[in-house]
Amino acid sequence: MDCKEMILSDEYADLILDFPVGGSAPSQSGNGEYCVLPVTAEQQIVYTPRNSRQRPDLDEYAYRYMPKLYGLMQFSFDPISLTESGILSVQNPPLSLTGKGVILAFVDTGIDYRNEVFQRPDGSSRILALWDQTIQSGIPPEGFLYGSEYLGGEIDRALQSPNPYEVVPSRDEIGHGTAMAAVACGSALNDGLTFTGAAPDADIVVVKLKECKPYLRDYYLISDETAYSETDVMLGVKYVQQFLVSFERPVVLCLGIGTNWGDHTGSSPLARYLSALATRRSMGIVVCGGNEGNAAHHYAGQIEPADDRRAYQDVEIRVGEGIGGFFLEFWGNALDAYEVEIRSPGGETVPGTDLGVGQSINYGFVYERTKVSVYNVLVESDAGEQLITMRFETPTAGIWRIRVRGRDSVRNGTFHMWLPITAFLTGETYFLESEPEITLTEPSNGANIITVSAYNDENNSFFIASGRGYARNGRIKPDFSAPGVNVSSIRGDYTGSSMAAAITGGGIAQFMQWAVVENNREFVTSLDVRNYLIRGAQRERGISYPDRMWGYGRLDIEGTFDAIAGV
């Protein structure tokens, strides 16, 4: 079996390794048993045969190597939002910043390349390149081995053809990527009176992600919802960053996906990769903070310090009827060691067990159909803290109780638990006592990247569902908030933090045009852009900044230039 077949086959597991296996180019083992796609010198994706078991276990593939799954965060657009964010003001003279010379990139559901908001006045496409990971009939990008790449010339030929999809067959069936791109950089129609994006003259690069493999969907207990593997997202980001030309051709990457899996400190492979890219000059990376703020999917616990095992805390989860299953993560602190005891609604109990280092155990119930798998590692390699995962298959409806107990004397006693994002649950599943803070989805907790929450620009109120900070390790996130409530795009009306990220991405493209394309700043990274935007953000009296909801304030691109000018 060649590498392309391994990448696409459900018989091969996708693993993210942080040590070299191959060289800097794609490679296959001499005996043809596995394939390697490099992401960076330190991060490589390996496709290796799965064993005879139906699904993987974390004691077989360590947590740090298993790709997480990412879902879509809904979004929206409104010209009023561009006004409130100071974007329309700087589109006009004297600055006249429209993203010209900048590339805006999206790794998402694809793009409707036929839509006129992605075309120039002469009808040619503003899309420089489109990598569709789902189409295997064309030629993949060099070094990526799967999917099909369509460059601007091919897209132009498709637009001129009576049957465009015979030339470029890529479509955005979901519409998420199309709407994000329209918000961030849609062309000005009817001189902007009908529609305009934040950076209407920016060029566009798009990656259409393929759906995750069935074995991952089965393991994480996700039924029919759109879910993307961390491996494909990372390769999509790598594809985008190749378009960067320092000092000349800045790239702004806009991500509208997220997950609740991970330690919420930005230590996941994707977050680390984005954080490293964000230090490159002329690169801007903006990530949405998710829509989990009011989902009741986060529990923050505190066991009072004690010298024996009698100290514990009970965590209750309400599970509705007909839930296929869910995957729960527990993260402890470095000072303590914990064990969990699980009690079903019918009263059957999974006893607390010392599983050792990186081991799992499976439980079945006598009077209930539920199967529970518990995995425990005292020191998870990336986070450096204890991780316990609990996989509930066909859980009985009712109240499940998880008793968290210190294995030895308790010194600190803090712990956190996260249920999957709302999109990955088939019905109501939530903590009875939840905590709305520390609900930003990954990878938005990563260092250096720009993280945005969402607010309602009609009344300047915070969007109740928007993720809230800070990161679990205290890192200040979000950086600021942008509009994202009840507004319309070319694809209809939407609400969510993806909208906030799209508007911010367009604003960053405006700033990059001024700083890099027009040579007003010699060295600009994503961190520099973030700090400039923080200086210009709108702040209200009575709020102490940074704030867990607002970060350092509300996005205001015009305010940023006022701050630079000393106005």
pLDDT tens per residue across span 202-213: 999 999 999 999
Token pair of 462 as six digits: 């915070």
Edge-to-edge order in the sheet of strand 257-258: 228-229, 69-72, 257-258
CA atoms within a 13 Å half-sphere pointing along the CA-CB vector of 520: 12
**Domain residue limits, the chain:** 3-52, 78-104+176-293+441-565, 298-431
Q: Give the mean model confidence (pLDDT) for residues 300-305.
A: 91
Q: Give the mean model confidence (pLDDT) for residues 551-565.
A: 96
Residue 76 — very low, low, confident or very high, per pLDDT cuts 50/70/90?
A: very low
**H or E segment and range at residue 377:** strand 371-377
Check residue 436 and give its pLDDT. 97
CA distances from 169 to 115, 140, 142, 324 (A): 14, 14, 20, 35
pTM of the model: 0.95
Check residue 367 and give its pLDDT. 83
Q: How many beta carbons lie within 10 A of that of residue 57, not counting itself?
A: 17
- How far, in Å, CA of 336 to CA of 319, rounded? 29
Contact 519, 121 (CB under 8 A): no
Check residue 564 and give its pLDDT. 95
If phi > 0 it is left, if psi is from -120 to 50 it is alpha, else beta; for residue 501 that is alpha
In tens, the pLDDT along 105-139 reads 999 999 999 999 999 999 999 999 999 999 999 99
Q: Give the mean model confidence (pLDDT) for residues 36-52.
A: 88
- How far, in Å, CA of 312 to CA of 179, rounded? 47
| Higher per-residue confidence, 26 vs 328 | 328
| Higher per-residue confidence, 41 vs 561 | 561
In tens, the pLDDT along 330-385 reads 999 989 989 999 999 999 998 876 655 667 788 888 888 899 999 998 888 888 89
Q: Give the mean model confidence (pLDDT) for residues 422-435.
A: 94
Q: Give the mean model confidence (pLDDT) for residues 520-528.
A: 90
Check residue 496 and give its pLDDT. 86
Contact 98, 201 (CB under 8 A): yes
Share of the chain above pLDDT 70, in %: 92
Burial 466-495 (b: 16+ CB within 10 A, else e): bbbbbbbeeebbbbbbbbbbebebbbeebb
- Using alpha carbons, select from 403, 548, 362 the residue that is nearest to residue 472: 548
Residue 77 — very low, low, confident or very high, per pLDDT cuts 50/70/90?
A: very low
Check residue 351 and give its pLDDT. 82
Find the range with the poorest average confidence among 26-30, 66-70, 152-156, 473-477.
26-30
pLDDT above 80 (res 140): yes
Token pair of 320 as six digits: 């509705």
**H or E segment and range at residue 70:** strand 69-72
Q: What is the mean pLDDT of the chain?
A: 91
- How far, in Å, CA of 337 to CA of 351, rounded? 16
| Higher per-residue confidence, 410 vs 170 | 170
Q: How many beta carbons lie within 10 A of that of residue 314, not counting itself?
A: 13
Query: Has domain 298-431 been given CATH number 3.40.630.40?
Result: no
In tens, the pLDDT along 465-477 reads 999 999 999 999 9
Find the range with the poorest average confidence among 6-20, 43-57, 239-253, 370-384.
43-57
| Higher per-residue confidence, 432 vs 382 | 432
Spatial CB neighbours of 509, under 8 Å, sequence gap ≥ 6: 99, 102, 104, 184, 185, 198, 199, 202, 250, 252, 284
| Higher per-residue confidence, 527 vs 190 | 527
Q: Give the mean model confidence (pLDDT) for residues 273-287.
A: 96
- How far, in Å, CA of 292 to CA of 108, rounded? 19
If phi > 0 it is left, if psi is from -120 to 50 it is alpha, else beta; for residue 413 that is left
Check residue 463 and give its pLDDT. 94
Check residue 54 and give its pLDDT. 56
Contact 409, 231 (CB under 8 A): no
Share of the chain above pLDDT 90, in %: 75
Check residue 61 and give its pLDDT. 73
Helix (H, G, I), strand (E, B) or coil at 41: coil
pLDDT above 80 (res 492): no
Four-way CATH pick for 78-104+176-293+441-565: 3.10.20.30, 3.30.30.60, 3.40.50.200, 3.10.400.10: 3.40.50.200
| Higher per-residue confidence, 245 vs 270 | 270
Residue type, 92: N
Q: Name the β-bridge partners of 417.
A: 299, 330
